[in-house]
Amino acid sequence: MGLDRSYLETSVWKPDLFKGKVVFTTGGAGTICRAQTEALILLGADAAIVGRNKANTDKAAAEMAQLRPGAKVISCAETDVRQVQSLVKAVEKTVRELGKIDFVIAGAAGNFLCDFNHLSTNAFATVVGIDLLGSYNTVKACFDQLRKNKGQILFVSATLHYYGIPFQAHVGAAKAGVDALSNALAVELGPLGIRVNCVSPGPIAETEGFKRLVREEKGYDKTIPIQRYGSVRDIADATVYLFSPAADYVTGTVQVVDGGSWHMGSRGSHHLYPHEVARLNAEQLSKL
Ligand code: COA
């Protein structure tokens, strides 16, 4: 489901668009962030894939290096975005092996469905820690490189905090924070020549979030204005646009890529609502 060399023939982008650029991607072994990074590699960039799990991150980096002859793709495995020093080591390795960092994709995220009654304080903190603090730490660790190279930042956000989605309080709160962080940094870092944007995927087929939140139901795709589920390539194309010179005057934006889906209202977890809310809250709990 990721990208392959046919992208060069079938996309509208110039093959050498990102020649000489280096991208640093947290969550780069995951489905969406991997495709975003693959597009940049195919279009000439080298990449550092940052992840917690060693086997997954090493494997993804080795596979992605095969996308383009001469591509350099390194693995920065065993990096936890909640620990800024862990990211500093990954940045040092990237600069040592690839020379610099031009683009940062802050995409590492954690998600699970859980109602408030059963969601512990630590569970809430874990998701906010990965999604929001992790995004902040990523920019912190990359800041010297971004400043030096007039680099760019792309946060991976979501649309689920545009309304209340049951069982997603932790993720919605974290992603709302990511949008706020992105806006503030766009304003502060603009004078340094650093552009900052968010990309917010909607229902993208075959992703973890899709399986958990949407579930493929007959006819559900026809409730989306564009009449189909999204693909990881849709997110990759938006990423290419935002990093490309075509977006030189674009900063502080949230690029929603969802086929117009969110305009149709809150439907995430709708298959669980309201019967599961009633069932889960019937228990005398409120897990701390
Ligand atoms: N429902 C409720 N609580 C959950 C949970 C779930 N499905 N999964 C984890 N938690 C809670 C844990 O119970 C723990 O809280 P506690 O100490 O009060 O019991 C807290 O979250 C931390 O869990 P832990 O497994 O120690 O954290 P971790 O840092 O190892 O992993 C995640 C966190 C989110 C990455 C992990 O839950 C996960 O693997 N999720 C699925 C994969 C994923 O999110 N992929 C990204 C898709 S966007």
Closest CA to 123 of 111, 105, 135, 109: 111
Q: Is 123 in the pocket of ligand 1 (CB under 6 A)?
A: yes
CA 20–ligand 1 middle distance (angstroms): 38
Per the CB < 8 A criterion, the answer to whether 87 and 81 are in contact is: yes
Whose CA is closest to atom 34 on ligand 1? 110
Q: State how far the alpha carbon of 25 is from the alpha carbons of 106, 119, 176, 181, in Å.
A: 6, 29, 21, 18
* Residue in the block written with tokens 């490189």: 145
Q: Is 129 in the pocket of ligand 1 (CB under 6 A)?
A: no
Q: Is 85 in the pocket of ligand 1 (CB under 6 A)?
A: no
**Amino acid 216: pLDDT:** 64
Per the CB < 8 A criterion, the answer to whether 151 and 142 are in contact is: yes
DSSP 8-state secondary structure symbol assigned to residue 247: G
* Residue in the block written with tokens 């874990």: 126
Q: What is the pTM of this model?
A: 0.96
Per the CB < 8 A criterion, the answer to whether 224 and 264 are in contact is: yes
- Evaluate if residue 109 carries a pLDDT over 90: yes
Residue 100, number of CB atoms within 10 A of its CB: 15
Beta-bridged to residue 200, according to DSSP, are 256
The pLDDT tens digits for 164-207 are 989 999 999 999 999 999 999 999 999 999 999 999 999 999 89
Confidence of residue 219 (pLDDT cuts 50, 70, 90): confident
Q: In what order do the strands lie in the sheet with 46-50?
A: 73-76, 46-50, 22-26, 103-106, 152-156, 195-201, 254-257
Nearest atom in ligand 1 to the alpha carbon of residue 110 is 44
**Amino acid 268: pLDDT:** 66
**Amino acid 201: pLDDT:** 97
**Amino acid 208: pLDDT:** 83
Q: Is 156 in the pocket of ligand 1 (CB under 6 A)?
A: no
Alpha carbons 261 and 256: distance in angstroms, whole number = 10
Per the CB < 8 A criterion, the answer to whether 119 and 283 are in contact is: no
Alpha carbons 9 and 131: distance in angstroms, whole number = 34
**How far from chain centre, in Å, is Cα 218?**
28
Q: Which of 11, 75, 135, 157 is catalytic?
A: 157
Whose CA is closest to atom 22 on ligand 1? 123
- pLDDT: which is higher, 269 or 21: 21
Give just the sign of the alpha carbon dihedral 177, 180, 184, 185: positive
The one-letter amino acid code at 117 reads N
Whose CA is closest to atom 32 on ligand 1? 110
Alpha carbons 96 and 119: distance in angstroms, whole number = 41
- 150 given a catalytic annotation: no
Ramachandran bin of 207, using left for φ above 0, alpha for ψ from -120 to 50, beta for the remaining angles: beta
- 157 given a catalytic annotation: yes
Q: Is 120 in the pocket of ligand 1 (CB under 6 A)?
A: yes
CA 111–ligand 1 middle distance (angstroms): 7
Q: Where do the domains of the chain lie? A: 5-281
Rg over alpha carbons for the chain, rounded to the nearest Å, is 19
Q: Is 108 in the pocket of ligand 1 (CB under 6 A)?
A: no
Which of 3.40.50.920, 3.40.50.300, 3.20.20.140, 3.40.50.720 is the CATH number of 5-281? Answer: 3.40.50.720
- Evaluate if residue 151 carries a pLDDT over 80: yes
The pLDDT tens digits for 241-287 are 999 999 999 999 999 999 999 999 876 677 788 888 889 888 887 77
Mean pLDDT of the chain: 95
By most ligand atoms within 8 Å of CB, the mutation choice from 31, 112, 206, 269 for ligand 1 is 112
Whose CA is closest to atom 4 on ligand 1? 123
Number of H helices and E strands in the chain, helices first, is 10, 7
**Amino acid 269: pLDDT:** 72
The one-letter amino acid code at 153 reads I
**Amino acid 154: pLDDT:** 99
> Average pLDDT, stretch 143-159?
98
